[in-house]
Amino acid sequence: MVTVTREQARARARSAAAAVTDPELPMLTLADLGILRDVAVEDDGTVAVWITPTYTGCPAIAEMRADVDRAVRAAGFDRVEVRTALAPAWTTDWITDEGRRKLAEHGISPPGGAPRRASGPVPLTLSPTRTVPRCPRCGTADTEELSRFGATACRSLHRCRSCLEPFEHVKEV
């Protein structure tokens, strides 16, 4: 008789949860996005999955939780609890290299390094100092920002001055 160790069960639950995709960026899995924080199998067999929201108000989080619940059940677990992990706060630095590659491949410019801040007040900036994203199509840095806010909370709108194509960029947070 083959016994499944708790570690094996955990690995199976984890890979099911990790493969769930973001409803608003469907090329990215939760693992790519870096929002899957932990998976554990508890003594009573309950699978606990911790995910963290990207933006506090991200409406996709409820969908993702429902999808994780469904995916882990489909992997053969009856009891699933999707829990929220608030700390440490998600930043775009949690997006994996694989996630960045997929974003670029789909014409969305991946984020640069998240803004780092020592303690103390957030410095006031009067001119755009955020990273200028490169055009995901032709690679030039000669791009302009159309709007800091895009179709979802995490994206901004840009246009390439060289190939003239508009594109989206995942904002650094």
Partner 1 sequence: MSGDKIYTALSEEHGGDARWAFGTGFTDALAGVDTTLPEGVDGADLALYCQMLGDDALVQAQRLVHWVTDAPELEEEVALANIALDLLGQARLLLARAGQADGTGRDEDAFAYRRSVGEFRNVHLAEAPRGDFARAVVTLLVLSSVRLAVFTRLVDSRDPVLAAIAAKAVHELAYHREYAVSWVLRLGDGTPYSRERVAQAVADVWPMTGEPFAAHPAEAGLADQGVAVDPATVRAEVHDVLTHVLTSATLDAPPAFPEPAVAGRDGVHTPDLAPLLDELQKVAREHPEATW
In the complex, the residues that contact partner 1 under the rule CB under 8 A are 26-27, 48, 50, 53, 55-59, 62-63, 65-66, 70, 81-91, 106, 115, 120-122, 124-126, 146-151, 153, 157, 171, 173
Q: In the 8-state DSSP scheme, what is residue 21?
A: B
What is the C-alpha separation between 50 and 14, in angstroms, rounded? 10
Q: How far is the CB of 121 from partner 1 (least distance, A)?
A: 6
Q: How far is the CB of 148 from partner 1 (least distance, A)?
A: 6
Nearest residue (CB) to partner 1, 8 versus 113: 113
Nearest residue (CB) to partner 1, 69 versus 135: 69
Nearest residue (CB) to partner 1, 2 versus 122: 122
Q: Which of 84, 94, 82, 71 is nearest to 12 (CA)?
A: 71
Nearest residue (CB) to partner 1, 81 versus 142: 81
Give first-to-last CA distance, the chain, whole Å: 50
Sign of the C-alpha dihedral computed for residues 140, 146, 151 and 152 taken in this order: positive
What is the C-alpha separation between 88 and 73, in angstroms, rounded? 27
